[in-house]
Structure 1
Amino acid sequence: MKRALNQMTVPHLDFAAFLDLAAELGCVGVEARNDMAALGRPLFDGLSPEAAGEMIRARGLRLVGLSQVYPFNSWDDARRAEVAALIATAKAAGAETISLIPRNDGTGGANGERQANLRIALKAIAPMLEEAGMVALVEPLGFGRSSLRFKDELIDTLKDLGVTAHFRIVHDTFHHTLAGGGALYPEHTGIVHISAVTDPRLAVEQMEDEHRVLVGADDRLGNVEQIAALMAAGYDGPVSYECFSPDTQQMTDPKDQLARSFAFIESRIAAPVA
């Protein structure tokens, strides 16, 4: 399993410490984020993209993803400018992908409306990616309020538009569960996001980002099963830890806790429990 680390899992570490942690955990790469302003954290802690990229590569890591544009499927001139700016930053930093997040506020989800909005955005973004030689990761969000819940709807649209070369999907184990599971698309998957929900009191429809913690034996999302199935079907890309629980984000010993969780997952994949 190719370990990776999303910055949201340890948002209180400075950028250099975040990279050091990823390297010490044996990660192949990291995902950096531009949406942590509430924590007083600008992208790359204010470093230039070029300097950040050099720091990442100096530690033997890849910048596997740069997040994010939201909501990408509410297409207008402002969104076009945001996508163009993120592509330019990604190129300067040496990022392999940019991340596109759909509207998640209960609007734009009506049948017909959501498909049209998705097509408009993907059709406009594709030539921008092609010109830059960049790939975009699109993340279906499994929440009932999401305007793009299902991977099959996204895949069908990408195929219909003939733009599968420029887009990959994010398989997020949390959102996959919230969306009711369904087919896996390893050949179209660019990254896997992992996190667990362990609170036994929550119904699936009650699960939120704040409940996303480290994976262990009490995981309710089936992370091990999802990862094992994707890898058995040919997926060979990064598996990136993305947790939002405030308790997890405040880990006192993130290196030890993340290492133990990664090791737990890998041991179960190597020798699945009957």
Structure 2
Amino acid sequence: MAQHDIKFALNHMVCPRWTPQQLIEIAAEMGLGAVELRNDLGENSILDLATARAAGQRARELGIEVLSINALYPFNIWNAEGAAKAQGLAQMVDAAGGCGLVLCPLVDADHTASDEEKRAGLEQALTELDVILGRYDLQGFVEPLGFPISSLRTKAEAVSAVEALGLERRFGLVHDTFHHQGAGETAFFAERTGLVHISGMEDPELVFEDMLDPHRLLVGERDRLDNVGQLRRLLKDGYEGYVSFEPFAEEVHALEDPVAALRASMDFVNKRLA
């Protein structure tokens, strides 16, 4: 895929101090086509229909696509509370004119379910979410989290469950470069991937299985996650969707000029892929 075919997007985690409207406006100023909204950023979260509608209106005015609200957590532990939360989030994605809902699994060292129980819980959640998301014609973006204590670490596990249920049209994967490396996964599922998240990790002393969200930077020269290699493989295998920046590090969030830093990271990735 040629350099100019990379479609970058902004996850609101690039700068949580921006309002949803500012995120959308900055994406437009940068010449980007899409954003991901979030429900975990305090006062700048999407937590009600009015806020979702206002963000969606601004996105439509500027021609920006709302890819998702991030996220339903823990999506794979299904109960009445989770069902109500899923319904509320689906309504907010719809109100924002969004494409889908990011689905993140439980991360808990005290979760003692067997592999069989985890699989059953995953299939139950996918089955129930198919109905909820279907009411609004939304996609479910399943994001395996590569932490050792995650209840769903690999994309292969997620694909297996989705295919067993015949729900390929409803659910796609989030390929997160950080979690792909953290899980030690080697399989790529470009044909099943609906969204890509990128972030970098530079600490030379850190082993991949010990990586945590605060280590997640923008992608640059010292990146140890092979973001460029992962993207090259996904694009070679036919991925044509958005590549969304998702840094969690406080040092990124505190940048005086996050737009300049984002442009520099985009330039770095594009040059390495060219």
Q: TM bucket by the smaller chain?
A: over 0.9
Q: Counterpart of 1:163?
A: 167
CA separation of 1:16 and 1:133: change in aligned 2, threshold 3 A? closer
Work out whether residues 32 and 44 of structure 1, in 8 Å CA contact, stay in contact via their aligned partners in 2.
no
Deviation at 1:168, TM superposition (A): 0.7
Deviation at 1:179, TM superposition (A): 0.7
Query: Secondary structure at 2:77's aligned position in 1?
Result: coil
1:196 to 182, 196, 200: 200
2:90 aligned with 1:97: no
| CA distance in structure 2 between the partners assigned to 1:108 and 1:204 by the alignment | 23
Query: Secondary structure at 2:115's aligned position in 1?
Result: coil
For normalisation by structure 2, the TM-score amounts to: 0.94
Unaligned 5+ segments in structure 1 are: none
| CA distance in structure 1 between the partners assigned to 2:36 and 2:269 by the alignment | 20
Deviation at 1:6, TM superposition (A): 0.4
2:87 to 84, 87, 102: 84
2:236 aligned with 1:215: no
Deviation at 1:14, TM superposition (A): 2.3
CA separation of 1:79 and 1:45: change in aligned 2, threshold 3 A? closer
Unaligned 5+ segments in structure 2 are: 1-5
- One-letter code aligned to 2:270: E
| CA distance in structure 1 between the partners assigned to 2:235 and 2:113 by the alignment | 32
| CA distance in structure 1 between the partners assigned to 2:46 and 2:130 by the alignment | 24
2:240 aligned with 1:224: no
Deviation at 1:45, TM superposition (A): 9.4
Between stretches 59-68 and 155-164, larger displacement belongs to 59-68
Q: Counterpart of 1:59?
A: 62
Q: Counterpart of 2:44?
A: 41
Root-mean-square deviation (Å): 1.5
Q: Counterpart of 1:22?
A: 27
1:13 to 14, 18, 33: 18
Work out whether residues 189 and 235 of structure 1, in 8 Å CA contact, stay in contact via their aligned partners in 2.
yes
1:181 to 185, 199, 210: 185
**CA offsets, 1:185-208, max 9 Å, x none?**
111111000000001111112211
| CA distance in structure 2 between the partners assigned to 1:50 and 1:215 by the alignment | 32
- One-letter code aligned to 1:36: L
| CA distance in structure 2 between the partners assigned to 1:2 and 1:212 by the alignment | 21
CA separation of 1:92 and 1:47: change in aligned 2, threshold 3 A? closer
| CA distance in structure 2 between the partners assigned to 1:163 and 1:179 by the alignment | 24
**CA offsets, 1:50-99, max 9 Å, x none?**
22111012122100111211111110111111111111111111000111
Deviation at 1:158, TM superposition (A): 0.4
Between stretches 143-152 and 51-60, larger displacement belongs to 51-60
2:139 aligned with 1:138: no
Work out whether residues 217 and 247 of structure 2, in 8 Å CA contact, stay in contact via their aligned partners in 1.
yes
Aligned residues between the structures:
268
Deviation at 1:46, TM superposition (A): 8.4
